[in-house]
Amino acid sequence: MIAVLSIADLILAFSFGMYFHVGYFADKTIFRIASDLAFIEGALVFCAGAFLAFLRASVSAISVILMITGGAMLGLSVLFGAMG
């Protein structure tokens, strides 16, 4: 799941970097855009897992998997940011 999300981030970052040279994406490298996308995805997935655990008043396997995936995406965001 993490590999699929990171590959999708790189493809989107490459297309955004190639075709959108104004606004938020102006003067940003592909890795910097991928870092921003991975951070947003990681934060959303982690919050979804935490919210699911909060609603059920117990930590299920699905919420743990979501929180681990979100944390890994946040770490991948830092890695992409260091590369760009």
All structural domains of the chain with their residue ranges: 2-20+29-83
As a whole number, the mean pLDDT across the chain is 85
Instruction: Give the separation between CA 80 and CA 9, rounded to whole angstroms.
Output: 10
CB 63 within 8 Å of CB 46 = no
Q: How many helices (H) and strands (E) does the chain have?
A: 3, 0
Give me the mean pLDDT over the 55-66 stretch.
88
User: 3 pLDDT exceeds 90?
Assistant: no
pTM of the entire predicted model: 0.81
11 confidence band (pLDDT: 50, 70, 90): confident
CB 56 within 8 Å of CB 28 = no
Structure tokens at 19: 């075709």
Beta strands, E only, the chain: none
pLDDT at 71: 93
22 confidence band (pLDDT: 50, 70, 90): low
